[in-house]
Amino acid sequence: MALRNILKEGDETLSKRCRPVTDFNDRLHQLLDDMAETLTAAEGVGLAAPQVGILRRAVLVLETNVPEGESEKLIELINPEILSSDGEQEGPEGCLSVPGVYGWVKRPDHVRVRAQDRFGEFFEIEGYGLTARAFCHEVDHLDGHVFLEISDHIMSDEELEEYYATEDGK
Ligand code: NI
């Protein structure tokens, strides 16, 4: 495995629409393994292939809603599609491609996603809260969008501090 360089906002790769993954081969597995290492090292909750310069529809999302005592797990989603969404959440959202910047973004609170695994098998998965936010954020990357486009307010350090002080570190 190897760490890959995370492209930063302003790189035109991040505004391109990604093509579907069609070959579920060793090259894809290497990409996913490298993305996992890169995401973990950066302590993020999601990473999309275009962020490491690969214009293919593959993302990782960290499922943080796990029972006490269990470790968070990385979900690999190839060619993900949001089937349905409901509810609403609002809060600060960030991105490894836009380091240090958090914007207020509204997202659904619950989404159902259909995707393929690294071997091409289809599955469906649900996400709530932060996981729903991450699914939406990562799928947006595959269509060339970053959260700054839908944020109605970039938060100041003071606002962030206040938010996290009152939100119990969520
Ligand atoms: Ni991002």
DSSP annotation string for 117-164: -TTS-EEEEEEETHHHHHHHHHHHHHTT--GGGT-SEEPPHHHHHHHH
pTM score of the predicted model: 0.94
Polymer length of the chain: 170
By annotation, the residues acting in catalysis are 138
Query: What is the phi-psi region of residue 109: left when phi exceeds 0, alpha when psi lies from -120 to 50, beta otherwise?
Result: alpha
Q: How far is the CA of 67 from the centre of ligand 1 (A)?
A: 26
pLDDT value, residue 120: 98
Q: Give the gyration radius of the chain's Cα atoms.
A: 16
- Those residues of the chain that have pLDDT short of 50 are none
pLDDT value, residue 92: 94
pLDDT value, residue 166: 83
pLDDT value, residue 168: 59
Q: How far is the CA of 119 from the centre of ligand 1 (A)?
A: 24
The span from the CA of 146 to the CA of 98, in Å, is: 9
Q: How far is the CA of 120 from the centre of ligand 1 (A)?
A: 24
pLDDT value, residue 1: 76
CA atoms within a 13 Å half-sphere pointing along the CA-CB vector of 51 = 29
pLDDT value, residue 139: 98
The span from the CA of 123 to the CA of 115, in Å, is: 6
pLDDT value, residue 167: 72
What distances in angstroms separate CA 62 from CA 19, 28, 65, 150, one per listed residue? 23, 19, 9, 22
Burial of 97 per CB tally in 10 Å (0-12, 13-18, 19+) = buried
Sheet holding 110-116, edge to edge: 46-48, 58-63, 73-86, 110-116, 122-128
